[in-house]
A and B are shown apart, each in its own frame.
Chain A
């Protein structure tokens, strides 16, 4: 709060209409922010309220803002009768595995790109980034063949490996930028003491770069969690499905869609991400601020 700000506040203190009006005028950014936040959250609210709608009420085909008889039956049905809990667990496994691999590969590559003199550095970084923009539909057929030959069909491994396409480009680029921001002296000191590059990375740089690694981990988790195409193509058994894939199977046939059931799965699928973002949002922003966008 600057001095001018404090002075301004004093001028608008009190409850006289003119002062209230003045306060509203000054706080317009807050109102705008609230409006924007509401606009972005509204679809979620809609989905949430309809996930509490019973199937009987849904069949009546009337739009409501809040169901007459809200019920948790949809969640129970989806989680326990349809085994959606297993699907969520599968998503967690896949996303965690992909994130772990991404962190290792990404920090190795990111460090090398940031610190070590390599010819063709731009080419390497360019390749890593552009690999993430290859059209997925064009990749499925060939990849399916490879997975089939390797006996990896219907395994979470196949999905996890393929998800690296989403996560590695962003993570590597992010970590490379962030590593470049760290002061070089610390590693040099460690190497003078007898560390190899790899050792320096592990012992000295990684702890310093923990915030950056956390950011990369969160973003990778979110991206791997969102995968649909690879799960759809490689998984056959419903108990192996990941959450986004199972979500489209549940509550939908050729003939009818129980949106109340599907909405319940949407809420459940989004929940871990919501929690993750809530906990890590400051980290995400500061991680990106740290150097990626400097």
Chain B
């Protein structure tokens, strides 16, 4: 992203204040279709959600439509409504899944970076899960985790591995979270691997050569050459993955419905719950606004943490 903040100001400050910078108006004009398109799609929903979050809107009970100040927002952070728990679940899941997927993705990217035969085929096959629609993925994993004769238990028993009689979904919270993580990682790790692979391939060979000449070990090369140069790719991937993990919904809806009980409810699931199940639009809107703010915070944190050091 730093590549974009170019365009140095060449004129001294006083003169710059007098007129548009050359090309500035063209710039706005060129950027406007994209901005307007996105704004048109999101503006009304965003405004509607903002307005609704401050009012008691419940179409099925008629709601009062009255201004209720921050009470919807307080509900978001209250343990009584289960929303705070959902928020906690989501944040924990976010940390765990991002860590797992980044580590796995980096490993796969390093593997794919080595020249070997059939690399292109492997690259394609590994990328496929990401390219498949999420609903497809959720459906596939639903059949795979089926306790009687689903693929996972079948394979475990064929390979004589433990756990082939586990009821993956709906029996215990931990097994259910594990199945969510597996389904999510299957779909998202390829994306991480792809981005990191691209980053790895951007590192000039000469740096590796220089390290080898200096007698650096594999680990030292990794720390000294690979990681620092991978920083931009890491940051981009981290931001995307973290936000996506925060927003996870499709898999939970398709596999667990937030169960057993309420143990796998995430904040996105609660948005669905409030809008579509309990028709409490006020709270649903408040949750959405909170989620937007959290996304902004996460993006901001990453921006600060991973700013290039030079």
Contact = CB atoms under 8 A, between A and B. Distances in A.
A99 B250 CA distance: 23
Interface string B14-53: 0000000111101111110111011101101110110000
Chain A contact patch, size range: 35 or more
A247 B295 CA distance: 32
Nearest to A162: B41
B5 A121 contact: yes
B268 interface: yes
Nearest to B269: A137
B199 A113 contact: no
Interface of A is mostly: helix
Contacts of A30: 116-117
Given A37-B125, A274-B131, A277-B131, A293 B45 contact: no
Chain B contact patch, size range: 35 or more
A168 B36 CA distance: 11
Interface string A106-135: 101101111111110110111111110111
Contacts of A7: none
A294 B202 contact: yes
A214 interface: no
Nearest to A122: B5
B125 A41 contact: yes
A34 B111 CA distance: 10
B126 interface: yes
Contacts, number: 285
B34 A128 contact: yes
A165 interface: yes
A198 B26 contact: yes
A143 B268 contact: no
Interface stretch (B63-71, B78-86, B137-145, B213-221): B137-145
Interface stretch (A9-17, A82-90, A281-289): A281-289
A197 B136 contact: no
A177 interface: yes
A280 B136 CA distance: 22
Nearest to A225: B133
A118 B28 contact: yes
Contacts of B190: 40
B26 A109 contact: no
A67 to B, nearest CB: 13
A270 interface: yes
A47 interface: yes
Contacts of A196: 26
Interface in A258-287: 259, 262-263, 266, 269-270, 273-274, 276-278, 281-282, 284-286
Given A109-B33, A198-B26, A228-B133, A41 B154 contact: no
Nearest to B20: A117
A292 interface: yes
A126 B134 CA distance: 25
B236 interface: yes
Interface centre among B4, B31, B46, B296, by most A CB within 10 Å?
A: B31
Given A247-B139, A276-B131, 13 more contacts: A32-B111, A33-B116, A113-B27, A117-B21, A124-B31, A135-B291, A172-B34, A180-B4, A180-B6, A198-B30, A269-B133, A292-B198, A292-B236
